[in-house]
Chains A and B, each alone.
Chain A
Amino acid sequence: MSANLTAQSSMSEVLAAYPGAQRALFRRYHIGGCSSCGFQPTETLAGVCERNGNLDVAEVLSHIQSSHAEDERILINPKELAELRKTDPTVRLVDVRSREEFDAVHIEGSILLSQPVMQQIMAEGTNSRPLVVVDHQGKNGLDAAAYFMGHGLQNVRCLRGGIDAWSQEVDPSVRRYQLG
């Protein structure tokens, strides 16, 4: 399906082919983050590019595709992570949610990202010790993972679906929640 995307594809088709497209668009072009820069599902990719400073459609599509490929490489499934923790006790789980959410529920052994934690991770600068980013539902963790990778850490993964998927697929005692 992804190979069939064209400039005339609707944004709903783009998002169906590349679920991370909105994040990719927002991060680089500031498109689709809120009502003031959002788009309609029925709008074409070309239309969105045109009203956002005449962006080059091919470049935008290429960016979406490369972001998608990168996302897939970074993500780790909950069950896969559970197995990894059994075989490698050095795995660090870094929780990037707010303190309120962390206090409410977290994966045992995970640590909340804070300034000291960040400094410690950066100071260690090791690529051998795996670091797995945990967020709520897999929406924000990839950005944090990208941040760590941007600092040269190579062994960084992101929990697919966040702690919400973990509670559904690995540990039901981790209570699911939503933000009100």
Chain B
Amino acid sequence: MNDDLQKRIQQAMANPQNVGEMADADSVGTVGNSDCGEMLRMWVKFREEGGRKVIDKASFQSFGCETAIAVASLATELIRGKTAEEALSLKTEELAGELGPLPPMKIHCAQLVEGALRSALNPEPAPQPGPAPATAPTLLDSVSGAKPAGLKVVFLDESNDAGNSSPQG
């Protein structure tokens, strides 16, 4: 790996910005699957500015890949003050910001961030800006398979019950 890139990634990792769940987010987007180590979830909060709805702040949660965390850290800073349309118009390589060009084997880290951003900024879901619990599906939503946006928890003692298998269990 390029030493210079590794150094920049480590610098970004030394002080990642905007890490963690945002309780009062207006929308949330998830890509990947935590089991394969490539899940990334992003929360976005909007505010009104000059008659425009702009991104007030964004945060993310991800485990596994330094590059994805570094890119997500930079991207959540980059999109502040932008409208959803402006943020969505950013190219994958722009999201990586000061990390500079990524080698081919790391481009999909940035694509992961882009996917989470698109998922969070998709204007169709999240019709109501309600308080914390609205940002993620409840357990009941997930278990019932109503259309979970993210993860589905299946208790092992339940999954072993005969005749009670869920479509995706």
Residue in A117, A143, A179 whose CB lies within 8 Å of B152: A179
Q: Is the CB of A179 within 8 A of B153?
A: yes
Q: Is the CB of A179 within 8 A of B1?
A: no
Residue in B21, B135, B153, B159 whose CB lies within 8 Å of A104: B153
A23 to chain B, nearest CB (A): 7
Cα-based distance from A139 to B151 in the complex (angstroms): 16
B110 to chain A, nearest CB (A): 11
Residue in B23, B103, B143, B159 whose CB lies within 8 Å of A178: B159
Q: Is the CB of B64 within 8 A of A143?
A: yes
Q: Is the CB of A100 within 8 A of B64?
A: no
Known A-B contacts A26-B64, A30-B106; the reply to A140 vs B139 at CB < 8 A is no
Known A-B contacts A23-B64, A30-B105; the reply to A179 vs B20 at CB < 8 A is no
Known A-B contacts A29-B1, A179-B152; the reply to A140 vs B157 at CB < 8 A is no
List residues of chain B with CB within 8 A of the CB of A114: 20-23
Q: Is the CB of A176 within 8 A of B153?
A: no
List residues of chain A with CB within 8 A of the CB of B37: 23, 26, 33-34, 139-140
Cα-based distance from A180 to B33 in the complex (angstroms): 10
Interface residues of A in 100-132 (CB under 8 A from B): 100-101, 103-105, 112-118
A118 to chain B, nearest CB (A): 4
Q: Is A85 an interface residue (CB 8 A)?
A: no
Sort chain A's interface into a size bin: 35 or more
Q: Is the CB of A101 within 8 A of B153?
A: yes
Q: Is the CB of A180 within 8 A of B20?
A: no
List residues of chain B with CB within 8 A of the CB of A55: 1
Q: Is the CB of B155 within 8 A of A33?
A: no
Residue in A28, A150, A175 whose CB lies within 8 Å of B156: A175
Known A-B contacts A114-B21, A150-B13; the reply to A53 vs B156 at CB < 8 A is no
Q: Is B66 an interface residue (CB 8 A)?
A: yes
Contact indicator per residue, chain B 130-169, by CB within 8 Å of chain A (1) or not (0): 0000011111001100001011111111010000001011
List residues of chain A with CB within 8 A of the CB of B65: 26-27, 30, 33
| Other A-B pairs, 16, CB within 8 Å; known A36-B108, A117-B20, A175-B155 | A27-B64, A30-B65, A33-B36, A33-B37, A37-B108, A55-B1, A98-B34, A99-B135, A114-B20, A114-B22, A115-B21, A136-B34, A140-B37, A140-B63, A179-B33, A180-B168
14 contacts between A and B (CB under 8 A): A33-B38, A34-B36, A52-B105, A53-B105, A98-B34, A114-B20, A140-B64, A144-B63, A147-B19, A175-B157, A177-B153, A178-B156, A180-B166, A180-B168
Per CB-CB distance, the 5 closest pairs between chain A and chain B, nearest first, are A140-B63, A115-B20, A114-B21, A180-B152, A104-B153
